Amino acid sequence: MEIVIIGGGFAGLNLAKELLDQKEINVTLVDKNNYNFFPPLIYQVATAFLEPSSISYPFRKFFAGKKNLQFRLGDLQKVIPEENKIILHNGELHYDQLIFATGAETSYFGMENVKKNAIPMKTLNDAIEMRNTILKNLEKAAICKDMRKRRKLLTIVVAGGGPTGVEVSGMFAEMRKNIIGKEYPELATSASNIYLIDGGDVLLAPMSKASQEDTYKALSDLGVVIKLDTRVIDYKDDTVFFSNGKSLETKNLIWAAGVSAKTFEGIPTESYGRGKRMSTDAFNKVSGFENIYAIGDTCIQLTDENFPQGHPQVAQVAIQQGLNLAANFKLMHKNKPLLPFKYNDKGSMAIIGKNKAVVDLPNPKWHFNGFIAWLIWLFVHLISLITYRNRITTFFNWTIAYFSKDQSLRMIIRPNKN
C-alpha cells in the first residue's frame, strides 16, 4: 500500500511515525519545508527567547534509517483523483491512499491592507521576520529624535486574544520590564505601549471563566492595555483602525486573530465545509472520495457527538486523528472493522509571563493558575517537542532566561531585507 501524506505537522508526522516498520505499507511524507517545527513555541522564537533550531528538526534526519518512510520536499499544486496522482511543483507522485495534513494558514478576513502590512504568527519564517522587524524598529527608535515617530516604533498592537495573542503580549511585556531599559538606555524614558485587541468580550474564549479572569488580571498587572469587543478593520499608513471608530499609530501590528484551511485544485467545492476545512466522515475520509483523507486543522468532522460543530483546531486533535488513522490503516490491511474518531480532550493552557500561566483540565474539572500552572505548561511543552535534542536545548534556554530574566539571542538575522 502506497500512502502519501501531505504536510508534516502534528497530524502528518504522528501518522507517519505510527506506520513505521509496517512491511506492507510504504509512506511518503511531502512538505514544502524540509523540517518539522513546533507551532506552540513560535512566539518564543519571534521574541528571541529560543533559537529556531530549538523547536524544529529536519525530516530527513528524523526519517534516516526508517525503511518504509520517505520524505519528499515539494509544494502540492494539484490532485488528480481519477489517476490516484498528485502534482508537485517539482514532479508527481502516485498513491493508494492520500492524506491531507496541511494544517491552516493565517486568515486576514479579506482585509488586504492588514495582509500586506501586519506581521503574521504562523510559521517559522513568520517568527524570524517578526523578530527582525521588532529588533530593527528598536534600533530605529534608539536614534529617532521625533517623539511621535519614536512612539510608533515602540508601540506594539497584538490582534487576537487567543493563546498566541496572550502569550506574545506577555512576552513583550516581560521584555519591556527586564530588557529594553537595560539594553537600550536611549529609550529608558520613552513610552512603549503594548495593546492586546480582541473582538470578543473575553480573552481565551474557549477556556474557563477563571482562566479568562486570571489572564486579564495578569496581563493588566504587566502593563498590557487590553481592548475587548474591538476588531481591527484596517491597517494603513502606520495606523491601525478599529471597529469602534478609534485608531492607533504603530509600526508593529502582530496578527494572531484567525486561521483558515487551504483549498487544493482537484478537490471539488462540495468537499469543503466551514473555514475551507475538508468535510470528513467519522474515519476522516473526505466527502466524495474513497481513498482521500484529511486530518488535523485542515478537516472538519461533524460525527463526534461531543463536538457537533467540529473539533477545535488545536494540536491534540491533530495528534489523535493521526494516531487513529494509522490504527485504521493497519486494521484495513487486516480486513478488520475500522475505529471511528472520538476526541479525548486533555485540557487547555496558556502561559502569560514568568511564573504566570493558566491551565484547565476537563476530567475532573480542575483549574490551575500562577506558578503551578506555569510548571505544568513548561512540562507539557517540553515533552511534546519532537526529539531529545529539542527538549534539552529548549530547557537550557528556558533555564538561562528564568534566572537571568534575559536571553542572548537578539540577532537580526537578515538586516538587509526591508
| 8 Å CB contact between 371 and 353 | no
> How far is the C-alpha of 379 from the C-alpha of 279, rounded, in Å?
34
Instruction: Give the tens place of pLDDT for each residue, 355-385.
Output: 999 999 988 789 999 999 999 999 999 999 9
Instruction: Give the tens place of pLDDT for each residue, 53-74.
Output: 999 999 999 999 898 999 999 9
> How far is the C-alpha of 353 from the C-alpha of 220, rounded, in Å?
12
Q: Is 58 helix (H, G, I), strand (E, B) or coil?
A: strand
| 2-32+74-106+259-333 CATH pick, 2.60.40.10, 1.10.490.10, 3.50.50.60, 3.40.50.620 | 3.50.50.60
Instruction: Give the tens place of pLDDT for each residue, 269-288.
Output: 999 999 999 999 999 999 99
Instruction: Give the tens place of pLDDT for each residue, 333-360.
Output: 889 999 999 999 999 999 999 999 999 9
In 3-state terms the chain splits into helix, strand, coil percentages (rounded to 5) of 40, 25, 35
> How far is the C-alpha of 293 from the C-alpha of 287, rounded, in Å?
9
| 8 Å CB contact between 98 and 298 | no
Q: How many CB atoms lie within 10 A of CB 75?
A: 12
pTM of the full structure: 0.91
Q: Is the sign of the CA dihedral 62, 37, 174, 369 positive or negative?
A: negative
For β-strands 26-31 and 2-6, DSSP reports them as: parallel
Higher pLDDT among residues 119 and 181, named by residue: 119
Q: Is the pLDDT of residue 418 over 60?
A: no
Q: Is the pLDDT of residue 417 over 60?
A: no
- Per-residue pLDDT, averaged over 310-330, amounts to 95
Of the candidates 242, 221, 223, which has an alpha carbon nearest to the alpha carbon of residue 233? 242
Unique residue bearing C-alpha cell 486576514: 108
DSSP letter assigned to residue 310: -
| 8 Å CB contact between 157 and 252 | yes
Q: How far is CA 9 from CA 64, 123, 385, in A?
A: 18, 11, 12
Residue type, 392: I
What residues does 360 pair with on adjacent strands? Answer: 348, 367
Q: Which residues contact 194 (CB under 8 A, 6 or more apart)?
A: 155, 156, 158, 169, 172, 173, 176, 223, 224, 225
Burial 297-327 (b: 16+ CB within 10 A, else e): bbbbbbebeebeebbebbbbbbbbbbbbbbb
Give the neighbor-by-neighbor strand order of the sheet with 85-88: 76-80, 85-88, 91-94
Phi/psi at 142 (nearest 5 deg)? Answer: -65, -25
> How far is the C-alpha of 276 from the C-alpha of 104, rounded, in Å?
9
Indicate the domain borders of the chain.
2-32+74-106+259-333, 112-257
Q: How many CB atoms lie within 10 A of CB 118?
A: 22
Q: How far is CA 309 from CA 270, 304, 305, in A?
A: 18, 9, 9
What is the residue-averaged pLDDT of the chain?
A: 93
Q: According to the model, what pLDDT value does residue 386 have?
A: 87
Q: According to the model, what pLDDT value does residue 415 have?
A: 52
Q: According to the model, what pLDDT value does residue 416 have?
A: 58
What cell was used for 25? Answer: 505499507
Query: Which CATH number applies to 112-257?
Result: 3.50.50.100
| 8 Å CB contact between 19 and 25 | yes
Residue type, 381: H
> How far is the C-alpha of 89 from the C-alpha of 91, rounded, in Å?
6
| 8 Å CB contact between 110 and 258 | no
Phi/psi at 354 (nearest 5 deg)? Answer: -60, 125
Tell me whether domains 2-32+74-106+259-333 and 112-257 share a fold. yes
